[in-house]
Chains A and B, each alone.
Chain A
Amino acid sequence: MEDIKKAILDFAETSKKTKFYFNDMEKAVKKVMPDIKAREIKKAATALVNEEKLVFFSTGSTTMYGMKGRGQTEDH
Protein backbone atom coordinates (compact mmCIF):
# COMPACT_ATOMS: atom_id res chain seq x y z
CA MET A 1 0.00 0.00 0.00
CA GLU A 2 2.69 2.51 1.02
CA ASP A 3 4.64 1.98 -2.22
CA ILE A 4 1.48 2.47 -4.28
CA LYS A 5 0.79 5.68 -2.40
CA LYS A 6 4.32 6.83 -3.09
CA ALA A 7 3.97 6.09 -6.81
CA ILE A 8 0.70 8.04 -6.89
CA LEU A 9 2.24 11.04 -5.15
CA ASP A 10 5.28 10.96 -7.46
CA PHE A 11 2.91 11.11 -10.39
CA ALA A 12 0.69 13.79 -8.83
CA GLU A 13 3.66 16.02 -8.06
CA THR A 14 5.24 15.82 -11.47
CA SER A 15 2.32 15.37 -13.88
CA LYS A 16 1.99 18.12 -16.46
CA LYS A 17 -1.65 18.66 -15.63
CA THR A 18 -2.71 19.57 -12.12
CA LYS A 19 -5.93 17.58 -12.53
CA PHE A 20 -5.86 14.06 -13.86
CA TYR A 21 -8.17 11.10 -14.47
CA PHE A 22 -7.99 7.93 -12.43
CA ASN A 23 -6.99 6.16 -15.61
CA ASP A 24 -3.88 8.29 -16.07
CA MET A 25 -2.88 7.79 -12.47
CA GLU A 26 -3.43 4.06 -12.86
CA LYS A 27 -1.20 3.92 -15.92
CA ALA A 28 1.56 5.85 -14.16
CA VAL A 29 1.47 3.50 -11.17
CA LYS A 30 1.41 0.42 -13.40
CA LYS A 31 4.55 1.65 -15.11
CA VAL A 32 6.39 1.32 -11.81
CA MET A 33 4.40 -1.65 -10.50
CA PRO A 34 3.05 -3.59 -13.47
CA ASP A 35 1.24 -6.30 -11.48
CA ILE A 36 -0.86 -4.06 -9.32
CA LYS A 37 -4.67 -4.27 -9.68
CA ALA A 38 -6.82 -1.18 -10.37
CA ARG A 39 -8.74 -1.81 -7.14
CA GLU A 40 -5.52 -1.64 -5.10
CA ILE A 41 -4.65 1.68 -6.72
CA LYS A 42 -8.10 2.95 -5.94
CA LYS A 43 -7.75 1.94 -2.29
CA ALA A 44 -4.45 3.79 -2.05
CA ALA A 45 -5.92 6.86 -3.75
CA THR A 46 -8.86 6.84 -1.32
CA ALA A 47 -6.42 6.64 1.60
CA LEU A 48 -4.52 9.63 0.21
CA VAL A 49 -7.76 11.59 -0.07
CA ASN A 50 -8.55 10.73 3.54
CA GLU A 51 -5.06 11.87 4.56
CA GLU A 52 -5.84 15.09 2.70
CA LYS A 53 -2.94 14.73 0.30
CA LEU A 54 -5.10 14.22 -2.78
CA VAL A 55 -8.37 15.97 -3.57
CA PHE A 56 -11.27 15.11 -5.82
CA PHE A 57 -12.19 17.56 -8.55
CA SER A 58 -15.70 17.10 -9.87
CA THR A 59 -17.62 18.79 -12.66
CA GLY A 60 -20.73 16.86 -11.78
CA SER A 61 -20.42 14.55 -14.75
CA THR A 62 -16.77 13.51 -14.42
CA THR A 63 -14.40 13.26 -11.51
CA MET A 64 -10.67 13.86 -11.53
CA TYR A 65 -7.98 13.74 -8.89
CA GLY A 66 -5.56 16.50 -7.97
CA MET A 67 -2.81 17.14 -5.47
CA LYS A 68 -3.88 19.26 -2.54
CA GLY A 69 -2.49 22.77 -2.87
CA ARG A 70 -1.36 22.31 -6.46
CA GLY A 71 -3.30 24.17 -9.16
CA GLN A 72 -6.84 25.20 -8.36
CA THR A 73 -7.70 25.60 -4.68
CA GLU A 74 -10.97 25.12 -2.84
CA ASP A 75 -12.25 28.64 -3.23
CA HIS A 76 -10.96 29.28 -6.73
Chain B
Amino acid sequence: MAFEPREPQKELKYQDLRIYSDQELKNYTEEELKNFKIKHKTPMCDELEKGPWPSFVADTKREALHRKKLSGDRLMVNSDVAEDLLGQLERSFKDGETHWKHGGIVGVFGYGGGVIGRYSDSPEEYPSIAHFHTLRVNQPASKFYSSDYLRSICDLWEYRGSGLMNLHGSTGDIIFLGTTTEQLEPIFYELGHVLQQDLGGSGSNLRTPSCCIGRARCEWSCYDTQAMCYELTHYYQDELHRPAFPYKFKFKFDGCPNCCVASIARADMSFIGTWRDNIRIDQDAVKAYVEGDIAPNAGAHAGKDWGKFDIQKEVIDLCPTRCMWMEDGKLMIDDKECTRCMHCINVMPRALRPGADTGVSILFGAKAPILEGAQMSLLTIPFMKVEHPYDNVKAIVDKCWDWWMEEGKNRERLGELIQRYGVPKFLEIMELPPMPQMVREPRSNPYIFWKEEDVPGGFTRSIDDYRKRHKR
Protein backbone atom coordinates (compact mmCIF):
# COMPACT_ATOMS: atom_id res chain seq x y z
CA MET B 1 0.00 0.00 0.00
CA ALA B 2 1.40 3.37 -0.96
CA PHE B 3 1.43 6.48 1.15
CA GLU B 4 -1.22 9.08 0.24
CA PRO B 5 -0.90 12.59 1.67
CA ARG B 6 -4.07 13.64 3.51
CA GLU B 7 -4.13 16.98 1.75
CA PRO B 8 -2.08 18.33 -1.15
CA GLN B 9 1.02 20.34 -0.26
CA LYS B 10 0.58 24.08 -0.34
CA GLU B 11 3.17 26.27 -1.95
CA LEU B 12 5.04 28.30 0.66
CA LYS B 13 5.47 32.03 0.10
CA TYR B 14 8.05 33.82 2.20
CA GLN B 15 6.13 37.08 1.88
CA ASP B 16 3.24 35.52 3.83
CA LEU B 17 5.43 33.77 6.39
CA ARG B 18 8.25 36.14 7.11
CA ILE B 19 8.88 37.42 10.62
CA TYR B 20 11.66 39.94 9.99
CA SER B 21 11.84 42.94 7.69
CA ASP B 22 14.70 43.45 5.26
CA GLN B 23 16.21 46.08 7.57
CA GLU B 24 16.13 43.66 10.47
CA LEU B 25 17.80 40.95 8.43
CA LYS B 26 20.62 43.22 7.29
CA ASN B 27 21.09 45.17 10.48
CA TYR B 28 24.86 45.61 10.74
CA THR B 29 27.72 46.79 8.52
CA GLU B 30 30.99 44.97 7.84
CA GLU B 31 32.70 47.88 9.64
CA GLU B 32 30.65 47.21 12.78
CA LEU B 33 31.49 43.53 12.54
CA LYS B 34 35.21 44.29 12.46
CA ASN B 35 34.96 46.28 15.70
CA PHE B 36 32.55 43.89 17.42
CA LYS B 37 33.78 41.95 20.47
CA ILE B 38 31.71 39.24 22.10
CA LYS B 39 31.34 39.35 25.86
CA HIS B 40 33.73 36.45 26.56
CA LYS B 41 37.44 36.30 25.75
CA THR B 42 37.96 33.48 23.24
CA PRO B 43 41.59 33.41 22.02
CA MET B 44 41.53 29.72 21.06
CA CYS B 45 38.25 29.95 19.17
CA ASP B 46 39.64 33.02 17.39
CA GLU B 47 42.46 30.87 15.99
CA LEU B 48 39.79 29.02 14.03
CA GLU B 49 38.96 32.17 12.12
CA LYS B 50 42.37 32.26 10.48
CA GLY B 51 43.10 30.83 7.05
CA PRO B 52 41.26 31.09 3.76
CA TRP B 53 38.43 28.66 4.57
CA PRO B 54 35.00 29.35 6.04
CA SER B 55 34.87 29.36 9.82
CA PHE B 56 32.01 28.51 12.13
CA VAL B 57 33.52 30.87 14.71
CA ALA B 58 33.32 33.79 12.27
CA ASP B 59 29.75 32.78 11.37
CA THR B 60 28.77 32.54 15.03
CA LYS B 61 30.15 36.01 15.73
CA ARG B 62 28.13 37.44 12.82
CA GLU B 63 25.05 35.87 14.32
CA ALA B 64 25.95 37.27 17.75
CA LEU B 65 26.16 40.80 16.36
CA HIS B 66 23.00 40.36 14.34
CA ARG B 67 21.07 39.25 17.42
CA LYS B 68 22.55 41.96 19.60
CA LYS B 69 21.15 44.54 17.23
CA LEU B 70 17.67 43.03 17.03
CA SER B 71 15.42 44.39 19.74
CA GLY B 72 14.55 42.04 22.62
CA ASP B 73 10.87 41.56 21.76
CA ARG B 74 11.91 40.23 18.34
CA LEU B 75 13.62 37.17 19.88
CA MET B 76 12.19 34.43 22.08
CA VAL B 77 15.62 33.12 23.13
CA ASN B 78 18.25 35.40 24.74
CA SER B 79 20.06 37.58 22.25
CA ASP B 80 23.51 36.63 23.61
CA VAL B 81 23.03 32.88 23.13
CA ALA B 82 25.71 32.75 20.40
CA GLU B 83 28.16 34.59 22.66
CA ASP B 84 27.66 32.17 25.55
CA LEU B 85 28.06 29.28 23.14
CA LEU B 86 31.51 30.49 22.06
CA GLY B 87 32.37 31.26 25.70
CA GLN B 88 31.62 27.71 26.79
CA LEU B 89 33.43 26.27 23.77
CA GLU B 90 36.54 28.26 24.69
CA ARG B 91 36.32 26.91 28.21
CA SER B 92 35.98 23.34 26.91
CA PHE B 93 39.09 23.81 24.77
CA LYS B 94 40.94 25.04 27.85
CA ASP B 95 39.71 22.28 30.16
CA GLY B 96 39.98 19.56 27.54
CA GLU B 97 36.50 18.32 28.39
CA THR B 98 32.95 19.04 27.37
CA HIS B 99 30.61 21.17 29.43
CA TRP B 100 27.42 19.79 27.93
CA LYS B 101 25.16 17.52 29.87
CA HIS B 102 23.86 15.07 27.38
CA GLY B 103 20.29 13.85 27.07
CA GLY B 104 17.03 14.52 28.80
CA ILE B 105 13.30 14.07 28.86
CA VAL B 106 12.55 16.98 26.53
CA GLY B 107 10.57 16.13 23.45
CA VAL B 108 7.49 17.22 21.61
CA PHE B 109 4.06 15.76 22.17
CA GLY B 110 3.71 12.20 20.89
CA TYR B 111 7.24 12.02 19.46
CA GLY B 112 10.11 10.05 20.95
CA GLY B 113 12.70 11.45 18.55
CA GLY B 114 13.69 14.56 16.68
CA VAL B 115 14.54 16.57 19.80
CA ILE B 116 17.76 16.08 21.73
CA GLY B 117 18.09 17.60 25.17
CA ARG B 118 21.26 19.58 25.86
CA TYR B 119 22.07 21.47 29.03
CA SER B 120 25.15 23.43 30.02
CA ASP B 121 26.82 22.21 33.20
CA SER B 122 27.94 25.77 33.91
CA PRO B 123 24.73 27.80 33.61
CA GLU B 124 25.98 30.48 36.01
CA GLU B 125 28.74 31.50 33.61
CA TYR B 126 26.76 30.87 30.42
CA PRO B 127 23.11 31.48 31.37
CA SER B 128 21.81 31.85 27.82
CA ILE B 129 22.77 28.29 26.94
CA ALA B 130 21.49 26.73 30.19
CA HIS B 131 19.05 24.91 27.86
CA PHE B 132 20.38 24.40 24.39
CA HIS B 133 18.23 21.69 22.84
CA THR B 134 18.74 20.44 19.31
CA LEU B 135 15.99 19.69 16.80
CA ARG B 136 16.34 17.56 13.70
CA VAL B 137 14.30 18.63 10.70
CA ASN B 138 13.61 15.91 8.13
CA GLN B 139 15.18 17.06 4.88
CA PRO B 140 13.25 16.55 1.64
CA ALA B 141 14.50 13.78 -0.65
CA SER B 142 17.85 14.86 -2.17
CA LYS B 143 17.63 18.16 -0.27
CA PHE B 144 15.81 20.20 -2.88
CA TYR B 145 14.58 23.39 -1.26
CA SER B 146 12.95 26.52 -2.52
CA SER B 147 14.44 29.78 -1.29
CA ASP B 148 10.99 30.69 0.07
CA TYR B 149 11.18 27.61 2.28
CA LEU B 150 14.75 28.26 3.45
CA ARG B 151 14.03 31.89 4.28
CA SER B 152 10.92 30.89 6.20
CA ILE B 153 12.66 28.33 8.39
CA CYS B 154 15.56 30.70 9.00
CA ASP B 155 13.13 33.33 10.29
CA LEU B 156 11.34 30.79 12.47
CA TRP B 157 14.61 29.62 13.99
CA GLU B 158 15.93 33.14 14.53
CA TYR B 159 12.74 33.97 16.39
CA ARG B 160 12.29 30.82 18.47
CA GLY B 161 15.83 29.46 18.66
CA SER B 162 19.46 30.48 18.63
CA GLY B 163 19.46 31.24 14.91
CA LEU B 164 22.37 28.79 14.57
CA MET B 165 21.87 25.78 12.38
CA ASN B 166 23.81 23.10 10.68
CA LEU B 167 23.10 22.07 7.09
CA HIS B 168 23.33 19.13 7.10
CA GLY B 169 23.79 16.61 9.89
CA SER B 170 25.33 13.31 8.86
CA THR B 171 21.92 11.69 8.43
CA GLY B 172 20.99 14.62 6.22
CA ASP B 173 18.60 16.53 8.47
CA ILE B 174 18.74 20.27 8.96
CA ILE B 175 19.94 20.61 12.53
CA PHE B 176 18.54 23.44 14.62
CA LEU B 177 21.17 24.11 17.28
CA GLY B 178 19.95 25.38 20.60
CA THR B 179 16.63 26.44 22.03
CA THR B 180 14.83 26.38 25.36
CA THR B 181 12.30 23.82 26.55
CA GLU B 182 9.37 26.29 26.29
CA GLN B 183 10.05 26.90 22.61
CA LEU B 184 9.93 23.25 21.54
CA GLU B 185 6.16 22.88 21.15
CA PRO B 186 5.67 26.22 19.35
CA ILE B 187 8.47 25.31 16.91
CA PHE B 188 6.98 21.87 16.35
CA TYR B 189 3.58 23.43 15.68
CA GLU B 190 4.93 25.98 13.23
CA LEU B 191 6.99 23.38 11.39
CA GLY B 192 4.17 20.86 11.12
CA HIS B 193 1.12 23.03 10.57
CA VAL B 194 2.53 26.02 8.74
CA LEU B 195 5.70 24.90 6.96
CA GLN B 196 4.39 21.33 6.34
CA GLN B 197 7.65 20.04 7.65
CA ASP B 198 8.24 17.01 9.88
CA LEU B 199 10.97 16.40 12.41
CA GLY B 200 13.61 13.78 11.69
CA GLY B 201 14.58 10.71 13.70
CA SER B 202 16.89 10.42 16.68
CA GLY B 203 17.41 7.88 19.46
CA SER B 204 16.35 4.25 19.09
CA ASN B 205 14.27 5.02 16.02
CA LEU B 206 14.34 4.67 12.33
CA ARG B 207 16.56 7.63 11.48
CA THR B 208 15.68 10.11 8.78
CA PRO B 209 16.09 8.15 5.54
CA SER B 210 18.33 9.86 3.01
CA CYS B 211 19.09 9.43 -0.67
CA CYS B 212 21.46 10.64 -3.37
CA ILE B 213 20.30 13.16 -5.94
CA GLY B 214 19.31 10.25 -8.16
CA ARG B 215 17.24 10.64 -11.29
CA ALA B 216 16.63 14.31 -10.58
CA ARG B 217 20.06 15.11 -12.00
CA CYS B 218 22.17 12.01 -12.37
CA GLU B 219 22.13 9.83 -15.47
CA TRP B 220 23.61 6.88 -13.57
CA SER B 221 20.74 6.40 -11.17
CA CYS B 222 19.50 2.83 -11.58
CA TYR B 223 16.23 3.46 -9.71
CA ASP B 224 14.28 6.44 -8.43
CA THR B 225 16.08 7.05 -5.14
CA GLN B 226 13.88 10.00 -4.24
CA ALA B 227 10.61 8.13 -4.75
CA MET B 228 11.80 5.22 -2.63
CA CYS B 229 13.15 7.45 0.13
CA TYR B 230 9.90 9.43 0.22
CA GLU B 231 7.68 6.35 0.26
CA LEU B 232 9.60 4.54 2.99
CA THR B 233 9.85 7.71 5.10
CA HIS B 234 6.08 8.02 5.09
CA TYR B 235 5.30 4.35 5.33
CA TYR B 236 7.44 3.95 8.45
CA GLN B 237 6.32 7.11 10.27
CA ASP B 238 5.61 5.23 13.46
CA GLU B 239 9.11 3.72 13.53
CA LEU B 240 10.60 7.14 12.81
CA HIS B 241 8.85 8.92 15.66
CA ARG B 242 8.14 6.34 18.34
CA PRO B 243 11.20 4.43 19.46
CA ALA B 244 10.95 0.73 20.16
CA PHE B 245 14.13 -0.54 18.55
CA PRO B 246 17.18 -1.82 20.42
CA TYR B 247 19.15 1.08 18.90
CA LYS B 248 19.23 3.32 15.84
CA PHE B 249 18.40 2.03 12.35
CA LYS B 250 19.27 3.76 9.08
CA PHE B 251 18.08 3.42 5.49
CA LYS B 252 20.13 5.07 2.79
CA PHE B 253 19.53 5.06 -0.94
CA ASP B 254 22.27 5.33 -3.54
CA GLY B 255 21.32 5.31 -7.20
CA CYS B 256 24.49 3.54 -8.32
CA PRO B 257 27.65 2.00 -6.83
CA ASN B 258 29.37 5.41 -6.68
CA CYS B 259 27.51 5.59 -3.39
CA CYS B 260 27.25 9.36 -3.00
CA VAL B 261 25.40 9.09 0.33
CA ALA B 262 27.87 6.39 1.46
CA SER B 263 25.07 3.95 2.23
CA ILE B 264 27.52 1.05 2.21
CA ALA B 265 29.45 2.51 5.14
CA ARG B 266 26.68 4.06 7.22
CA ALA B 267 23.32 2.37 6.82
CA ASP B 268 21.89 -0.66 8.58
CA MET B 269 20.10 -1.23 5.32
CA SER B 270 21.82 0.13 2.21
CA PHE B 271 20.06 0.27 -1.15
CA ILE B 272 22.51 0.57 -4.02
CA GLY B 273 21.39 0.84 -7.62
CA THR B 274 22.82 -1.73 -10.02
CA TRP B 275 22.12 -3.51 -13.30
CA ARG B 276 22.10 -7.14 -14.32
CA ASP B 277 22.65 -6.87 -18.07
CA ASN B 278 25.75 -5.45 -19.74
CA ILE B 279 27.49 -2.10 -19.57
CA ARG B 280 26.36 -0.16 -22.63
CA ILE B 281 29.32 0.74 -24.85
CA ASP B 282 29.48 3.40 -27.55
CA GLN B 283 32.60 2.37 -29.49
CA ASP B 284 32.81 5.67 -31.40
CA ALA B 285 32.99 7.56 -28.11
CA VAL B 286 35.64 5.10 -26.82
CA LYS B 287 37.68 6.02 -29.88
CA ALA B 288 37.14 9.72 -29.25
CA TYR B 289 38.47 9.31 -25.71
CA VAL B 290 41.48 7.36 -26.96
CA GLU B 291 42.21 10.04 -29.55
CA GLY B 292 41.89 12.81 -27.00
CA ASP B 293 38.75 14.37 -28.47
CA ILE B 294 36.78 13.97 -25.23
CA ALA B 295 38.34 14.82 -21.86
CA PRO B 296 38.39 11.84 -19.47
CA ASN B 297 36.62 12.02 -16.08
CA ALA B 298 34.24 14.57 -17.64
CA GLY B 299 37.05 17.12 -17.39
CA ALA B 300 37.60 16.71 -13.65
CA HIS B 301 41.14 16.69 -12.16
CA ALA B 302 42.14 19.03 -15.02
CA GLY B 303 44.20 21.32 -12.77
CA LYS B 304 47.36 19.34 -13.57
CA ASP B 305 48.77 18.02 -16.84
CA TRP B 306 48.45 14.25 -16.61
CA GLY B 307 49.70 13.67 -20.15
CA LYS B 308 47.77 12.01 -22.92
CA PHE B 309 44.86 9.81 -21.87
CA ASP B 310 45.96 6.19 -21.79
CA ILE B 311 43.02 3.80 -21.80
CA GLN B 312 45.21 0.81 -20.96
CA LYS B 313 46.77 2.45 -17.92
CA GLU B 314 43.86 4.52 -16.69
CA VAL B 315 40.96 2.18 -17.32
CA ILE B 316 41.77 -1.38 -18.32
CA ASP B 317 44.62 -1.97 -15.86
CA LEU B 318 42.59 -0.42 -13.03
CA CYS B 319 39.55 -2.62 -13.52
CA PRO B 320 39.48 -4.56 -10.23
CA THR B 321 38.40 -7.81 -11.85
CA ARG B 322 40.55 -7.42 -14.99
CA CYS B 323 37.56 -8.07 -17.19
CA MET B 324 38.29 -5.50 -19.91
CA TRP B 325 40.56 -5.53 -22.94
CA MET B 326 41.00 -3.91 -26.36
CA GLU B 327 40.43 -5.95 -29.50
CA ASP B 328 40.80 -4.46 -33.00
CA GLY B 329 40.46 -0.95 -31.60
CA LYS B 330 37.29 -1.90 -29.70
CA LEU B 331 36.79 -1.98 -25.96
CA MET B 332 35.57 -5.40 -24.77
CA ILE B 333 34.07 -6.25 -21.37
CA ASP B 334 33.40 -9.68 -19.93
CA ASP B 335 30.31 -8.51 -18.06
CA LYS B 336 29.81 -11.59 -15.94
CA GLU B 337 33.11 -10.81 -14.20
CA CYS B 338 32.32 -7.10 -13.74
CA THR B 339 31.69 -6.13 -10.10
CA ARG B 340 29.95 -2.86 -11.01
CA CYS B 341 32.70 -0.78 -9.42
CA MET B 342 31.85 2.15 -11.76
CA HIS B 343 35.51 3.03 -12.40
CA CYS B 344 35.43 2.69 -16.19
CA ILE B 345 32.08 4.48 -16.39
CA ASN B 346 33.35 7.36 -14.26
CA VAL B 347 36.39 7.82 -16.48
CA MET B 348 34.54 7.61 -19.79
CA PRO B 349 30.94 8.65 -19.13
CA ARG B 350 30.17 9.37 -22.77
CA ALA B 351 31.37 5.97 -23.93
CA LEU B 352 30.10 3.72 -21.14
CA ARG B 353 26.79 3.62 -19.33
CA PRO B 354 25.25 1.26 -16.78
CA GLY B 355 23.07 -1.44 -18.31
CA ALA B 356 19.37 -0.97 -19.01
CA ASP B 357 17.96 -3.77 -16.83
CA THR B 358 18.30 -1.96 -13.52
CA GLY B 359 17.30 -2.47 -9.89
CA VAL B 360 18.94 -2.46 -6.46
CA SER B 361 21.37 -4.46 -4.41
CA ILE B 362 20.37 -4.59 -0.74
CA LEU B 363 23.06 -4.72 1.92
CA PHE B 364 22.74 -4.94 5.68
CA GLY B 365 24.58 -3.95 8.79
CA ALA B 366 27.01 -1.05 8.25
CA LYS B 367 27.84 1.07 11.27
CA ALA B 368 30.39 3.43 12.83
CA PRO B 369 33.21 2.12 15.01
CA ILE B 370 31.72 2.20 18.51
CA LEU B 371 31.62 -1.57 19.17
CA GLU B 372 33.79 -4.06 17.29
CA GLY B 373 35.09 -1.42 14.89
CA ALA B 374 33.56 0.11 11.79
CA GLN B 375 31.75 -2.27 9.54
CA MET B 376 30.66 -2.05 5.92
CA SER B 377 27.32 -3.54 5.04
CA LEU B 378 26.98 -7.10 3.85
CA LEU B 379 25.74 -7.71 0.32
CA THR B 380 22.72 -9.91 0.96
CA ILE B 381 20.37 -9.41 -1.97
CA PRO B 382 22.48 -8.98 -5.11
CA PHE B 383 19.65 -7.84 -7.34
CA MET B 384 16.02 -6.91 -6.96
CA LYS B 385 13.63 -4.98 -9.16
CA VAL B 386 12.02 -2.08 -7.33
CA GLU B 387 8.83 -0.28 -8.29
CA HIS B 388 6.54 2.03 -6.38
CA PRO B 389 5.04 1.24 -3.80
CA TYR B 390 7.97 -1.10 -3.03
CA ASP B 391 5.97 -3.85 -1.34
CA ASN B 392 8.79 -6.35 -1.95
CA VAL B 393 11.20 -4.06 -0.10
CA LYS B 394 8.79 -3.51 2.80
CA ALA B 395 8.41 -7.27 3.24
CA ILE B 396 12.19 -7.57 3.66
CA VAL B 397 12.37 -4.64 6.08
CA ASP B 398 9.65 -6.15 8.26
CA LYS B 399 11.34 -9.55 8.42
CA CYS B 400 14.62 -8.02 9.43
CA TRP B 401 13.07 -5.76 12.09
CA ASP B 402 11.07 -8.61 13.61
CA TRP B 403 14.29 -10.54 14.19
CA TRP B 404 16.34 -7.61 15.45
CA MET B 405 13.59 -6.43 17.81
CA GLU B 406 13.25 -9.92 19.18
CA GLU B 407 16.93 -10.87 19.47
CA GLY B 408 18.87 -7.60 19.53
CA LYS B 409 20.37 -6.56 22.86
CA ASN B 410 20.02 -3.01 24.09
CA ARG B 411 22.25 -0.75 21.99
CA GLU B 412 23.11 -3.53 19.55
CA ARG B 413 23.09 -2.51 15.89
CA LEU B 414 21.83 -4.93 13.27
CA GLY B 415 25.40 -5.44 11.98
CA GLU B 416 26.52 -6.55 15.45
CA LEU B 417 23.59 -8.91 15.78
CA ILE B 418 24.50 -10.50 12.43
CA GLN B 419 28.07 -10.79 13.68
CA ARG B 420 26.94 -12.43 16.92
CA TYR B 421 24.67 -14.99 15.24
CA GLY B 422 26.59 -15.42 12.01
CA VAL B 423 25.54 -14.85 8.42
CA PRO B 424 23.88 -18.29 7.94
CA LYS B 425 21.42 -17.52 10.75
CA PHE B 426 20.66 -14.14 9.22
CA LEU B 427 20.00 -15.73 5.82
CA GLU B 428 17.72 -18.27 7.45
CA ILE B 429 15.72 -15.47 9.07
CA MET B 430 15.54 -13.58 5.79
CA GLU B 431 14.59 -16.83 4.00
CA LEU B 432 17.32 -16.37 1.42
CA PRO B 433 19.48 -19.11 -0.07
CA PRO B 434 23.22 -18.47 0.24
CA MET B 435 24.91 -17.53 -3.02
CA PRO B 436 28.46 -16.66 -4.00
CA GLN B 437 27.82 -12.91 -4.36
CA MET B 438 26.70 -12.50 -0.77
CA VAL B 439 29.66 -13.67 1.30
CA ARG B 440 31.16 -11.05 3.54
CA GLU B 441 34.54 -10.88 1.96
CA PRO B 442 34.26 -12.04 -1.62
CA ARG B 443 36.82 -14.64 -2.64
CA SER B 444 38.30 -15.00 0.83
CA ASN B 445 35.57 -16.52 2.95
CA PRO B 446 33.34 -18.86 1.01
CA TYR B 447 32.13 -20.95 3.95
CA ILE B 448 28.43 -21.47 4.39
CA PHE B 449 27.86 -24.56 6.51
CA TRP B 450 25.35 -27.23 5.66
CA LYS B 451 22.67 -28.20 8.10
CA GLU B 452 21.71 -31.83 8.52
CA GLU B 453 18.17 -31.35 7.20
CA ASP B 454 19.52 -29.77 4.02
CA VAL B 455 21.61 -32.82 3.13
CA PRO B 456 19.68 -35.65 1.39
CA GLY B 457 19.81 -38.58 3.83
CA GLY B 458 21.31 -36.45 6.61
CA PHE B 459 24.85 -36.73 8.00
CA THR B 460 24.60 -40.46 8.78
CA ARG B 461 23.52 -41.73 5.36
CA SER B 462 25.31 -44.72 3.89
CA ILE B 463 27.98 -43.78 1.41
CA ASP B 464 27.93 -47.13 -0.41
CA ASP B 465 26.05 -45.65 -3.31
CA TYR B 466 28.60 -42.85 -3.56
CA ARG B 467 31.48 -45.33 -3.37
CA LYS B 468 30.04 -47.28 -6.29
CA ARG B 469 30.73 -44.25 -8.43
CA HIS B 470 33.83 -42.89 -6.71
CA LYS B 471 36.60 -45.34 -5.78
CA ARG B 472 38.58 -44.61 -2.63
Contact = CB atoms under 8 A, between A and B. Distances in A.
Interface of A: 21-24, 38, 41-42, 45-46, 49-50, 55-63, 66, 72-76
A57 B112 CA distance: 8
Given A23-B410, A24-B410, A72 B244 contact: no
B415 interface: no
Contacts of B246: 21-23
A58 B115 contact: yes
B119 A76 contact: yes
Contacts of B107: 55-56, 58
B39 interface: no
B362 to A, nearest CB: 23
A21 B405 CA distance: 12
A4 B119 CA distance: 34
* Among B134, B204, B408: residue with most chain A CB under 10 A: B204
Given A22-B244, A75-B181, A58 B203 contact: yes
Given A22-B243, A38-B244, A58-B113, A72 B104 contact: yes
Given A46-B242, A61-B203, A56 B105 contact: yes
A27 to B, nearest CB: 11
B410 A49 contact: no
Nearest to A22: B244
Given A23-B410, A61-B247, A63-B204, 7 more contacts: A38-B405, A41-B244, A45-B242, A49-B112, A58-B112, A58-B117, A61-B203
Given A23-B246, A38-B406, A63 B105 contact: no
Nearest to B408: A23
B166 to A, nearest CB: 14
Given A23-B410, A60-B134, A61-B203, A73 B116 contact: no
Contacts of B245: 22
Interface string B396-408: 0000000001101
B105 A49 contact: no
Contacts of A62: 203-204, 247-248, 410-411
Contacts of A22: 204, 243-246
A41 B243 CA distance: 12
A63 B205 contact: yes
A60 B115 CA distance: 8
A22 to B, nearest CB: 5
Nearest to A23: B410
Interface in B386-426: 405-406, 408-411
Contact of A56 (B112, B119, B405, B408): B112
Nearest to A41: B244
B181 A56 contact: no
Nearest to A20: B410
Interface in B157-189: 181
Contacts of A49: 110, 112, 242
Interface string B192-207: 0000000000111100
B277 to A, nearest CB: 40
B105 A72 contact: yes
Residue from A49, A55, A60, A76 having most chain B Cβ neighbours under 10 A: A60
B292 interface: no
A74 B110 CA distance: 15
Contacts of A74: 104-106, 181
A60 B105 contact: no
A30 to B, nearest CB: 11
Contacts of A42: 242, 244
Nearest to B111: A56
6 contacts: A21-B246, A23-B410, A49-B112, A58-B112, A75-B181, A76-B119
B280 interface: no
Which 7 A-B pairs give the minimum distances between C-beta atoms? A63-B203, A59-B103, A63-B243, A60-B116, A56-B112, A42-B244, A63-B204
B101 A76 contact: yes
Contact of A21 (B101, B106, B119, B410): B410
Contacts of A57: 103-105
A10 to B, nearest CB: 19
A58 B119 contact: no
Given A49-B112, A74-B181, A60 B244 contact: no
B330 interface: no
B181 A59 contact: no
A35 B63 CA distance: 56
Contact of B103 (A21, A58, A73, A75): A58
Contacts of A50: 109-110
B234 interface: no
B102 interface: yes
Contacts of B112: 49, 56, 58, 63
Interface in B214-249: 242-248
Contacts of B134: 60
